[in-house]
Amino acid sequence: MTQRDPTKPNLHSEITTREVDEGLLVHDERSGQVHVLNRSAGRLLGLCDGRHDVGEIARILALEGNVDESRTAADVRTILAQFQRLGLLA
């Protein structure tokens, strides 16, 4: 079994996602809670695959959105903290 790298956010194994018109539907199979993320937050959650660290996620999103990387990094950290509080990350 491969050890998870704690510096690289990873979606919890009991979270399922599905794209919808509004963005991304996120279902927590443990609690039954459902969240609807806008496209930007959905893209960020999609990058929480255990392969990208926070800096890499910010760089990818900044390039895709043609926005300032330092501002994006701050937003990424804030949103990741929210994802963690919601139990979306492992």
CB 12, CB 90: distance < 8 Å: yes
Other Cβ atoms less than 10 A from the Cβ of 59: the count is 16
Q: Which CATH architecture has domain 15-85?
A: Orthogonal Bundle (1.10)
What ranges do the domains of the chain cover?
15-85
User: Can you give the pTM of this predicted structure?
Assistant: 0.88
pLDDT for res 25: 97
Cα(49)–Cα(9) distance, integer angstroms:
7
pLDDT for res 5: 78
Taking the chain (90 residues) in runs of 10, the rounded mean pLDDT of each run is: 77 96 95 96 96 96 92 95 96
Q: Residue 70: which H helix or E strand, with range?
A: helix 69-85
CA atoms within 13 A on the CB side of 7: 3
pLDDT for res 2: 57
